[in-house]
Amino acid sequence: MHYKKHSRTYKIKNARKKPEKPSKFDESTLRRISPERDLNNARKKYMQLSKEELVNRLIEVEQYVAENQKRWVANHFEQFK
């Protein structure tokens, strides 16, 4: 208790903490990403996320890519029948 009350680093760490919003994965946001986007802005956006938020986003995007790749392979295979 004494540490939490008097520690400068503890107070700074808690001041930086943002309440975590539940991840709202939306496929349309991925479709709107442009290859010509400003990567510095994207980097800043991701640097503000917590490690847990980044991991969740990465997993969601990997799932999206895997599902789309599976669909593409199935459609591509059907064209050769």
Helix H or strand E encompassing 80: none
CB 54 within 8 Å of CB 46 = yes
Mean of all residue pLDDT scores within the chain: 83
pLDDT at 58 over 70: yes
Residues in the chain: 81
Helix (H, G, I), strand (E, B) or coil at 23: coil
What local confidence, expressed as pLDDT, does residue 3 receive?
63
Per-residue pLDDT tens for 9-42?
Answer: 777 766 666 666 656 677 888 888 899 999 999 9
Domain boundaries, the chain: 26-81
